[in-house]
Amino acid sequence: MKAVVKLAPETDVVPRKILGWIIISLLMFVSALAGATAGLVLVYSTDLPQVEQLERYRPSAVTELYDSQRHVIGTFALQHRVIATYEQYPQVLRDALIAIEDKDFYRHWGVNVWRIAGAAYRDILSGGRVQGASTLTMQLARNLFLSPDRSFHRKIQEALLAIQIERRFTKQQIFTLYANQIYLGHGVYGFEAASQFYFKKPAADLMLQEAALLAGLPKSPSIYSPIAHPDRAIKRRNLVINAMLEDGKITAVQAAQSRIQPLQLMLARDPPSLAPYFVEELRRYLEGKYGSDQVHEGGLRVYTSIDSNLQHAANRAVLDGLAAYERRHGWKGHLENVIDSGMLISSYQHPDWDEEPEEAGYIHGVVTQVSASFASVKLGRFSARITPAQATWTHRKLLQLLKPGDVVYVKILTLTPDGKAAVTLEQDSGVQGALIAIDNSTGEILAMVGGRDSNLSKFNRATQALRQAGSSFKPYVYTAAIDRGARPDDPVLDAPAMFQTASGPYVPHNYDEKFEGTISLRRALAQSRNIPALRLAEQLGIKTVIGYARRFGITSNLPEYLPIALGAADITLFEQTAAYSAFPNDGVRITPRYLTKVTDYDGQVLEENFADVRDVVSANTARTMTSMLQEVVQHGTAIAAAGLKLPLAGKTGTTNNFTDAWFVGFSPSVTCGVWVGYDEKKTLGAKESGARAALPIWMEFMKAAAVGRPPGDFPAAPAPLTASTQTRLDTPDTAPAAEESH
């Protein structure tokens, strides 16, 4: 019997072959896909930034300037950002942000594959580019390292960077980096800064509806701006609230109550700039030393010498003094009119309105309506009415004074929460003033005013303006004489004289066109007699006088001709004030200082300034000159200051045709200089001398400077020298060794 062998049907063999080919094909496809993916990863990762940089990363931070009491008086920044820690961001804000931006933030590894796949599918169907589905980590990677374009290439790089970030940092660290970095509109970066800007409160104090509003901004700060588009902002906020409800982070009752809340913004406006000219001086110095990037992005801490109380007093004294000058000279009119310039009143914005106004301050406004009984004025977000009683000094009716569109200058008397202001009409004819005050014992600058309005002119008339010093230069002449043996009671002739100079005969005159005959040096200085000062300078030699001015730190150009003795040279108020501080210091000059210390982002000291001290003249000479300058206040051209009942000394200065008015003087603790004039060097008007235009400003400031300070007294002047020990004035015409100021 033969065995029978049964063969499998041909149909059984074919499927096995097909299955094998399928498996092989799949393996080849997977291998190819893996290779392609690896290739893509290699290609897209070759130019990726090193995530290790994040370990050293610090966001652009604000550089802050502090006064002598550690109060912030100014900032430098390209981005308005306030750095906060994870714990300083409240749970409600964290929940809101994660609910709307990245629900799986605490679970994913940097990339949410399912969200990306879904977003890619939708984009393929719509024909658009890959977008959306970014996790917080991916957004952080994009903001820190990549461009904002929406290309496939950038999206791959974003994902790769996010994975690396997740490997190196905790979720709390990633959230904090994101929360401090993200842009939230109107120049604000980070949620702490946004909370302070939109609601005037730290992020830790945010309510649910406020946190939801901020959490909705990263998607598009411009589209959902609560300032520009409040309706869109509310819809976006409510969407965030709904997302929080879906995630179980809030209750239905909380959600319902929060959705019906109005925006209730409390926008933080810039406070009035306390010392804008001083801050600008520091900016130039800091940028020159540390570079613009470090100053505006490095988060420096700059500790300055400014005393905020005295700076307030200086601001008020200068502005009130200029207002008094304006009223003395009557209404000039010639107001700028916005309508005549082709603008609309409704859209007009004055630079003064960028800062919050303050009571007793001065501000420009635009007239919106005028009648016989009042004129309505717009002052930014405030409004005011000027009545005839508030403009009586002009001796004109309102309809003669103003018309709609006029830009007016007013003093603010009161401000109310409902946006109303009480004002008086003032005038800004262009006259300027400057003030600088220095602590005698330390050289620290206590206050600085460089002009009427820094919003209209950044030019610092305290440090940059070279103006003729007038009679405020005379103390250098008398110092040279005293230092060479003259006595305050020595006689000098005040009589008509003609002096021979290199340019020909010079016939000067006194301010009052009178002559007093033989008088003492003390009286000649107190009454600011010109002829005696010239006689002394001629006898000493003008080179000698200039040499003494150099000792005191005057570095401006001083031509060697006789009228220099009367202040016919241009110098700065800063130089003159710093020079005078040597008199109450027993002849020691301390180089003025703007700042005391600078630290970096981490608190490391970059710079610490100490007093730079140098001898100028002997203590006996300084004390004698101080007593003579006291006579100026007690019986001379500055006798009005005697009413302050304080130990004071100083010197007035007035130039030809009344173009410059000066007063520079000191107490035992503070030296202050004041200048008044026009930038274009035109006359201030008849009789607008240093005693009339500058001295009242100086007095107002010195009254404030005396508050809380012991009045003290000046050291006693030395006893008069005997004739046998007196040095002759007619010594050889050689100047003392000059010391340059640094």
Read off the pLDDT of residues 313-322 as tens digits, 9 standing for 90 and up.
999 999 999 9
Write down the pLDDT at residue 470.
96
User: Which listed CATH number (3.40.710.10, 2.130.10.10, 3.30.360.10, 2.40.128.20) goes with 433-706?
Assistant: 3.40.710.10
Mean pLDDT computed over every residue of the chain: 88
- Percentage of the chain modeled with pLDDT above 70: 85
| Residue 183, CA atoms < 13 Å, CB-side half-sphere | 15
Band of residue 724 on the pLDDT scale cut at 50, 70, 90: very low
Query: For residues 476 and 617, what is the distance between their CA atoms, to the nearest angstrom?
Result: 11
The structural domains of the chain, with segments of one domain joined by +, span 82-259, 334-428, 433-706
Scored b (16 or more CB within 10 A) or e, 559-591 reads eeebbbbbbbbebbbbbbbbbbbbbbbbbbbbe
Read off the pLDDT of residues 624-676 as tens digits, 9 standing for 90 and up.
999 999 999 999 999 999 999 999 999 999 999 999 999 999 999 999 999 99
Instruction: State the DSSP code for 217.
Output: S
Given a cut of 70, whether residue 564 has pLDDT beyond it is yes
CA Rg, the chain, in Å? 37
Please give the residue that has the higher pLDDT: either 717 or 646.
Answer: 646
Please give the residue that has the higher pLDDT: either 738 or 379.
Answer: 379
Query: For residues 250 and 314, what is the distance between their CA atoms, to the nearest angstrom?
Result: 53
Architecture of the 334-428 domain: Beta Barrel (2.40)
CA distances 559 to 111, 210, 553, 661, Å, are 75, 67, 16, 22
Q: If DSSP codes are grouped into helix, strand and coil, which group holds residue 75?
A: strand
Given a cut of 90, whether residue 256 has pLDDT beyond it is yes
Given a cut of 60, whether residue 579 has pLDDT beyond it is yes
Any idea what the Cα angle at residue 644 is, between residues 468 and 68, rounded to 5°?
75
Q: Sign of the CA dihedral 578, 582, 585, 590?
A: positive
Write down the pLDDT at residue 49.
57
Given a cut of 70, whether residue 122 has pLDDT beyond it is no
Write down the pLDDT at residue 41.
46
Q: If DSSP codes are grouped into helix, strand and coil, which group holds residue 569?
A: coil
Please give the residue that has the higher pLDDT: either 92 or 44.
Answer: 92
The β-bridge partners of 375 are 370, 386
Given a cut of 70, whether residue 461 has pLDDT beyond it is yes
Given a cut of 50, whether residue 421 has pLDDT beyond it is yes
What average pLDDT does range 73-77 have in this prediction? Answer: 90
Query: For residues 192 and 201, what is the distance between their CA atoms, to the nearest angstrom?
Result: 9
List the structure tokens of 515. Answer: 């002559």
Q: Sign of the CA dihedral 330, 636, 474, 673?
A: negative
- Percentage of the chain modeled with pLDDT above 90: 73
Query: Which member of 101, 192, 280, 426 is catalytic?
Result: 101
Given a cut of 90, whether residue 574 has pLDDT beyond it is yes
Query: Which member of 471, 472, 528, 667 is catalytic?
Result: 471
Write down the pLDDT at residue 380.
93
The answer to whether 101 is a known catalytic residue is yes
Phi, psi of 301 (to 5 degrees): -120, 115
Query: For residues 660 and 642, what is the distance between their CA atoms, to the nearest angstrom?
Result: 23
Instruction: State the DSSP code for 396.
Output: S
Write down the pLDDT at residue 446.
98
Write down the pLDDT at residue 119.
52
Read off the pLDDT of residues 333-377 as tens digits, 9 standing for 90 and up.
999 999 999 999 999 999 999 888 999 999 999 999 999 999 999
Read off the pLDDT of residues 189-246 as tens digits, 9 standing for 90 and up.
999 999 999 999 999 999 999 999 999 999 999 999 999 999 999 999 999 999 999 9
**Range 82-259 classified under CATH 1.10.3810.10:** yes
Scored b (16 or more CB within 10 A) or e, 717-731 reads beeeeeeeeeeebee
CB 373 within 8 A of CB 387: yes
